[in-house]
Amino acid sequence: MGRFLFLFGLKRENNTFALKYKTPIMKTIKFIALATVVISLTACKTLESSNTAKDADIYGPTVFQKPVMADLEVKATKVTATYSCSSSVAESAAKSMALLEALKTSNADVLIEPRYEINRTLGKMEVIVTGYPASYTNFRPMVAADTLFINAANPASAGSTTTQGPLSLSKKFLKK
């Protein structure tokens, strides 16, 4: 018991314990106890935060969207990219990562006619994607001439269509 009391700088007098002398250990213990009390009193403060971001629902009858047209420039040379990962990764995620790598290396916005090759060996998967890189250029507001081009290219997008199963026919062709 005497050695234990000595370590903490205590001495026994008249059946009570008193500090024999101040040691660096006692100063450290007092500092730690005081720091613990201060931290525990200040750490329990409730933090209030507010969200100042404003969002708007962009769909509905009160929102008007103005169509925008763009040209698509397709490069004549194919690009190939490879992504390797563990076979535990989902195939769709690996395809997306390979596509992302192809777009980054070719500095393109979209890959036209992507072809995927998937090789699996001993817990590993390798996805190779090949396609034509393309970039959007010449963004402009849609004009009447653009709507005529869209209607001619896709008759189903014209305002008056009749749908029969998977086949969409324009009323212009149904009058015959």
pLDDT tens digits for range 151-164: 777 776 555 444 44
The alpha-carbon radius of gyration of the chain (Å, integer) is 36
In a domain, 135, yes or no: yes
Q: Please give the structure tokens belonging to residue 15.
A: 């059946």
What's the domain range around 116? 66-140
Residues 11 and 75 in one domain: no
| Residue 129 domain flag | yes
Whether residue 30 is found in the same domain as residue 81: no
**Quick check: is 81 in a domain?**
yes
How many domains would you assign to the chain? Answer: 2
Whether residue 74 sits in one domain with residue 15: no
Cα–Cα distances (Å) from 176 to 113, 152, 172, 173, in that order, read 37, 19, 8, 6
Same-domain check for residues 38 and 74: no
Question: C-alpha distances in angstroms, 157 versus 74, 147, 153?
Answer: 24, 10, 9
What is the C-alpha to C-alpha distance for residues 98 and 104, in angstroms, rounded to an integer? 10
Is residue 170 in some structural domain?
no
> Which pLDDT score is estimated for 117?
95
Same domain, 37 and 70: no
Answer yes or no: is 121 within a domain. yes
Q: How confident is the model at residue 57 (pLDDT cuts 50, 70, 90)?
A: low
Q: How confident is the model at residue 13 (pLDDT cuts 50, 70, 90)?
A: low
CA angle in degrees (0–180, nearest 5) for 92-127-116? 75
Q: What's phi and psi for 103, nearest 5 deg?
A: -65, -40
125 and 71 in a single domain? The answer is: yes
Does one domain contain both 71 and 128?
Answer: yes
Looking at the domain assignment, is residue 14 inside a domain?
A: yes
Would you say residue 36 has pLDDT above 70?
yes
For residue 59, being part of any structural domain is answered with no
Same domain, 71 and 35: no
Taking residues 73-100, report their average pLDDT: 93
